[in-house]
Amino acid sequence: MPDPLVAARALTKKFDDFVAVDTVDFEVRRGEAFGFLGPNGAGKSSTMRMIQAVSPVTAGELTVLGMDPAADGPKIRARLGVVPQEDNLDTQLPVEENLLIYGRYFDLPRPLIRERIDELLDFAQLAERRKMVVEKLSGGMKRRLSIARALINEPELLILDEPTTGLDPQARHALWDRLYRLKQQGATLIITTHYMDEAEQLCDRLVVMDKGKIVAEGSPLELIGRYSTKEVVELRFPIGVQETVVDHLEDLAKRLEVLPDRVLLYTDDADATASAVHAADLGPEQMVERRSTLEDVFLHLTGRTLVD
Amino acid sequence: MTTPLALRVMEVQARVYRRIWRASVVTSFVNPMLFLAAMGLGLGSLVDRDAGRAALEGVTYLEFLAPGLLAATAMQTGAGDSTYPVMAGMKWMRTYHATLATPVGVGHLTAGHLAWVTVRVGLVSLAYVIVMVGFGAVGPVRGLAALAPAMLTGLAFAALVTAYTAQLENDQGLSSLFRFGIVPMFLFSGTFFPIDQLPGWAEAIALATPLYHGVELARGAALGVGTAAHPLVHAGYLAAIAAAAGWLAARNLSRRMLP
């Protein structure tokens, strides 16, 4: 197997007394889409910043593209693409000039930058807006431009920190489509997200992070198989009723999660479980049958939901 | 070591400026006209009577004032361009984060920013000199000679204020900077009257301000007269401040941007 693009061993980041990343181990291989799934504050962004060589490692080992970020920061950054959590485009400049200045930071010759700008604007579906000042773009367009900008140096590794946070569903899907294309072209992606559907859609492999630690690792399907059942029945009860019926639900499912607003019944056969709930006549206001997701994995591992 | 990538940073700032220069060009010409008309000509007509003329060693108040204002404007431009634009880069637009995600380092970023601000100070000062020449406050050759002192003054203040802004959490500290730093210096560092008119303790403070040394240099160049100390002492003082504050600015930006 070829050397991993990123390898971390006992990687730790502290800010004064606060441990943001706590002795984590992971490897990102060439050509895969690797995810960091976890709630806000889990340590995902701190990990990303260490990989980008813009934040010193406190303890442990980290190699990126075979190099040490402490010693070879500029060389590493020259071969990375970064789509930040918060847009940091130059909003006073037009779309194409944002790409041009970024190419210049990478010291690329102008004719090459011009060539790539044309390709990247097509890819980002922004060709018609190339002269438009960035301030006037929609949120989804700005994100697509951020991705295009991150590709100007043809990076070996593209890091996307919460790429679709704050976007409407349509813009999210448009963005996923672009990322899916990149994946098919063989790009290596690292994606952080607190959306389980995003992780399921895009990631070949992922780690689940919570409070600075990695609590599980695998493909989305492996994780669901390991930490959840195939299917879930969600029940909502009228106010005040849930507490009184929980005891009766225990026997109807393999496992139960009681949330403030609903009860989740983990089962391998949702239809059968739903029938049993009906038969028990417990009077749920609402009953939904669904597949297990990474959200259920996270809930099982941490006892909390991903999005508060 | 930091040259080529610092130039890229400068290039980017110049590109942004190319889109917004129109907003500043009117100010650059109108401001000196207002000041030179009101203070240089208006107030000057009183100063130039009797004792005033003797105290200014034979030059008119307009001639005395104009190079002082040139240095003070350089200070304001260098300082101003290192307040909100730096805040925007760090926090509001976050463009510094984008820059530092590339091979560009904090040293390049700081050097490029300061170099660009110095060019901006040069442009604003050139406008000032043109107005000064128009008012007959200075000849064109001596006026142009005063550009170098103005740019050095602007650079020293840009470095100081960048170091200050880089460690601010929000922009509240910026108005204090002007209220307690820039405005008092503007008024009491030799721009409007020789600092030997100040009480002894205040004169000692004025002597230590970078603006005083910038004013001395600019006035010496514009009037062709000697400066209080050797010009190299004044220039060396400003250069030392620029170097030390530039280093501090890079350190503060690094702490802030690369925690």
Subunit contact A91:B93, Cβ cutoff 8 A? yes
Residue A164 phi/psi, 5° resolution? -115, 10
pLDDT in tens, B25-45: 888 999 999 999 999 999 998
Question: Mind telling me how many Å the CA of B95 is from chain A's nearest CA?
Answer: 5
Distance CA A182, CA A157 (A): 11
Contacts of A87 in chain B (CB under 8 A): 94
Subunit contact A93:B99, Cβ cutoff 8 A? no
> What pLDDT sits at residue A2?
66
Cβ-contact B78, B121 below 8 angstroms: yes
Cα angle value B81/B86/B87 (rounded, 5°)? 120
Of the two residues A80 and A302, the one the predictor is more confident about is A80
Residue type, position B178, single letter: F
3-class secondary-structure state, position A245? helix
Question: Taking 60 as the threshold, does the pLDDT of residue A291 lie above it?
Answer: yes
Q: CA distances (Å), A134 to each of A113, B18, B139, in order? A: 19, 16, 45
| Average pLDDT of every residue of chain B | 94
Subunit contact B101:A54, Cβ cutoff 8 A? yes
Contacts of B104 in chain A (CB under 8 A): 105
Question: Mind telling me how many Å the CA of B117 is from chain A's nearest CA?
Answer: 18
Subunit contact B16:A93, Cβ cutoff 8 A? yes
Cβ-contact A103, B102 below 8 angstroms: no
> What pLDDT sits at residue B120?
96
Distance CA B17, CA B24 (A): 10
Question: Taking 50 as the threshold, does the pLDDT of residue B72 lie above it?
Answer: yes
Residue A140 phi/psi, 5° resolution? -65, -40
Chain B, nearest residue to A54 by Cα: B258
Which residues in chain B (198-257) have CB-CB distances under 8 A to chain A?
257
Of the candidates A155, A142, A140, the one whose C-alpha atom is nearest the C-alpha of residue A106 is: A155
Cβ-contact A234, A288 below 8 angstroms: yes
> What pLDDT sits at residue A67?
97
> What pLDDT sits at residue A242?
87
* Mean local confidence (pLDDT), A31-49: 94
- Burial of A62-98, coded b for 16+ CB within 10 Å and e otherwise, reads bbbbeeebeebbeebbbbbbbbbbebbbbbbbbbbbb
pLDDT in tens, A14-32: 999 999 999 999 999 999 9
Give A1's pLDDT tier (boundaries 50, 70, 90): low
Question: Taking 50 as the threshold, does the pLDDT of residue B1 lie above it?
Answer: no
Chain A, nearest residue to B14 by Cα: A101
* Mean local confidence (pLDDT), A202-222: 95
Cβ-contact A55, B259 below 8 angstroms: yes
Subunit contact B19:A80, Cβ cutoff 8 A? no
Distance CA B45, CA B40 (A): 8
Which tokens sit at A57?
Answer: 């490692």
- Does residue B20 belong to the interface with chain A, where contact is any CB pair within 8 Å? yes
Please state, as a whole number, how many other Cβ atoms lie within 10 Å of the Cβ of residue B44.
Answer: 22
| Average pLDDT of every residue of chain A | 92
Chain A, nearest residue to B94 by Cα: A88
Question: Taking 70 as the threshold, does the pLDDT of residue B2 lie above it?
Answer: no
ipTM reported for the complex, 2 dp: 0.88
Which tokens sit at B155?
Answer: 């650079």
Subunit contact A107:B101, Cβ cutoff 8 A? no
Cβ-contact A130, A95 below 8 angstroms: yes
Helix, strand counts (H, E) of chain B = 14, 0
Subunit contact B95:A73, Cβ cutoff 8 A? no
> What pLDDT sits at residue B74?
98
Q: Which residues of A lie inside 8 Å of B (Cβ-Cβ)? A: 15, 52, 54-56, 73-75, 77-78, 80, 82, 84, 86-93, 97, 101-102, 104-107, 149, 153
Question: Taking 60 as the threshold, does the pLDDT of residue B143 lie above it?
Answer: yes
Chain B, nearest residue to A52 by Cα: B101
Spatial CB neighbours of B116, under 8 Å, sequence gap ≥ 6: B9, B10, B13, B14, B17
- B190: left (phi > 0), else alpha (psi -120 to 50), else beta? left
Give A230's pLDDT tier (boundaries 50, 70, 90): very high
pTM of whole model > 0.95? no
Question: Taking 70 as the threshold, does the pLDDT of residue B81 lie above it?
Answer: yes
Question: Mind telling me how many Å the CA of A181 is from chain B's nearest CA?
Answer: 24
Question: Taking 80 as the threshold, does the pLDDT of residue B105 lie above it?
Answer: yes
Subunit contact A106:B101, Cβ cutoff 8 A? no
- Does residue B38 belong to the interface with chain A, where contact is any CB pair within 8 Å? no
Cβ-contact A191, A160 below 8 angstroms: yes
Percent pLDDT > 90 in chain A is: 74
Percent pLDDT > 70 in chain B is: 99
Subunit contact A54:B100, Cβ cutoff 8 A? yes
pLDDT in tens, A82-123: 999 999 999 999 999 999 999 999 999 999 999 999 999 999
Cβ-contact A204, A188 below 8 angstroms: no
Cβ-contact A206, A34 below 8 angstroms: yes
Chain A, nearest residue to B103 by Cα: A74
Tokens 């220039």, residue located: B235
Nearest CB to A105: which of B16, B94, B103? Answer: B103
